[in-house]
Amino acid sequence: MDSGPVSCEICRELKPVETSLMKFGWEENDRLLPAAYRRLVEVRVGGREDEPRSPRLCPLCGTLYSYESRYEYLASGSEDEEELRRLTGDDARAWLGDAVVAALPRPLLSPLRETVVNERVVVFSTGGEDLASGWGANAVAILGDGATLLVDPLVAPVYARELARLLAARGAGPVRWVVTTHHHTDHSVGASVFAEAGAEVIAHAASAARMAAEQLALLAERRTSPSTRALFFDAVPAAPTRLVTEPTDLSVGGVRATVRPAGPAHTPGDLRIDLPGLGVVVTGDLVFHGYHPNLEHADLDGWKRGLGELLLEPAGTTFVPGHGAPGGREIVEAQLAWFEAAAEEVCRVTVGGLSSDQAVERIRERFPGYLLGAVLPTAVRVLGRAR
């Protein structure tokens, strides 16, 4: 079967043309459209309500389809036929016009980019800086012989299933463990997909408590929003099955991994994952590289202490941040420099007469090109309270 666009879990279940036939009195012979069809979103186009076919949009990747239903009364029993046809961009524009196609909703699924740190460590990320892309969080796969440890399996099940597909394409062993470095949804909600397949989900005890207290309501809220409903329609809270408060060693198919508490820092329950035999540390959100850090739940002193501990690692260590590209000690030093510069600008609010909005803009100016600027108002408030 033609699997459709392979990067989208909806479209790869649909052939380029799908048809159904339902005949009254002959239900045992009914041929239905695939279940994935029901996840497509009807697009309403003004002035075209009476046309026999209507557009359907994949909310994850943005692929457009035409849908047509035909009903016929026959002496032998009424027939109901449906046709679903995948459209190219040229097909869509020729049918609907450039303006309608340009105004279609933005797809929710961003392609996962792969960064190979070494033969045992691969980083997957959407990039980006919004909820639909998981705010550009990194998922990290540690590839052992016949087994895989996955760190921070992204913001929603659709991304986690794409991770599973990409890992299988690499010939990776089954995901036996999932570590969520902290409770924020961009690093944890995808864990449910791997838990269903038998993986052990590991989190700090403080992080697990926050997941249990917060995620059910948060995910329910996202399911009510038209802009995020499709992304979170089957999302459930992460449910860790092993809680850690002390360093814990795992043997991942011959690769030693130490899951090490590193907070309170970015959150009350941060973890880092040390891979001493590979010279790699997975930092979680202790380090944001090229992204402004989220200080919403931060312990600033603990965070700086955790960064100082990273700098004690041997020369040549590669650090994989929670957001952004891996790097050496320079990305840890850059995170410390961000705290220093941001604190200077917040100081100007109280002693130099600047407003909070001006402090935000000055931080932007000092770090041109940094993503996730939406977190800066919160950062200014948190840094201001810390003075």
pLDDT in tens, 36-46: 998 888 888 88
Annotate 32-51 with three-state secondary structure.
Answer: CCCHHHHHCEECCCCCCCCC
Q: What is the pLDDT of residue 330?
A: 98
Chain centre to alpha carbon of residue 256: 26
Predicted local distance difference test score (pLDDT) of residue 78: 74
Query: What's the number of domains the chain is made of?
Result: 2
User: Does residue 158 belong to any structural domain of this protein?
Assistant: yes
Q: Give tens-digit pLDDT for 258-302.
A: 999 998 999 999 999 999 999 999 999 999 999 999 999 999 999
In single-letter form, the type of residue at position 302 comes to G
* Residue 110 confidence (pLDDT): 73
For residues 93 and 206, membership in a common domain is answered with no
Specify whether 18 is located in the same domain as 96: yes
Q: What DSSP character marks residue 136?
A: G
CATH number assigned to the domain comprising residue 123: 3.60.15.10
Q: Which amino acid is at 200?
A: E
DSSP element (H, E) containing 115: strand 113-118
Among 102, 126, 151, which residue terminates a domain? Answer: 102
307 and 254, same structural domain?
yes
- Report whether 192 contacts 219 (CB < 8 A): no
Please indicate, yes or no, whether residues 83 and 117 belong to a single structural domain of this protein: no
- Domain boundary among the residues 48, 74, 102 is at 102
Does residue 380 fall inside a structural domain? no
Same domain assignment for residues 57 and 168? no
Q: Does residue 318 share a domain with residue 216?
A: yes
Contact criterion met (CB below 8 Å) for 380 and 359: yes
Structural domain range at position 168: 113-288+300-329
Identify the domain boundary among 75, 102, 129.
102
pLDDT of residue 108: 64
Note the helical H segments in the chain.
89-96, 98-102, 157-169, 191-196, 205-224, 229-232, 300-310, 329-351, 356-366, 376-386
**Same domain, yes or no: 164 and 256:** yes
- 36 belongs to a structural domain: yes
- pTM recorded for the entire structure: 0.82
Map tokens 């020369």 to a residue: 315
Same domain, 166 and 257: yes
In a shared domain, residues 96 and 226: no
- pLDDT at residue 222, as a whole number: 92
DSSP-derived letter for residue 153 is -
Is 220 among the domain residues?
Answer: yes
Q: Residue 335: inside a domain, yes or no?
A: no
User: For 193, what's the count of Cα atoms within 13 Å in the CB-facing half-sphere?
Assistant: 23
Please tell me the predicted confidence (pLDDT) of residue 76: 61
Give me the pLDDT at residue 77, please.
62
What pLDDT score was predicted for residue 2?
40
> Is 284 found in the same domain as 153?
yes
2 and 85 Cβ atoms separated by less than 8 Å: no
Calpha distance 19→11 (Å, rounded): 15
pLDDT at res. 1: 32
Rounded Cα distance, 164 and 194, in Å: 8
Name the token pair of 227: 């802009």
Task: Kindly state whether residues 158 and 180 are assigned to the same domain.
Answer: yes
Residues of the chain with pLDDT under 70: 1-7, 25-28, 73-77, 108-109, 387
Same domain for 93 and 127, yes or no, is no
Considering the domain boundaries, does residue 294 fall inside one?
Answer: no
Burial track 25-43 (b if 16+ CB lie within 10 A, e otherwise): eeeeeeeebeebbebbeeb
Instruction: Please provide residue 323's backbone torsions phi and psi, each rounded to the nearest 5 degrees.
Output: -140, 135
The verdict on residue 363 lying in a domain is no
Place of tokens 């917060």: 214
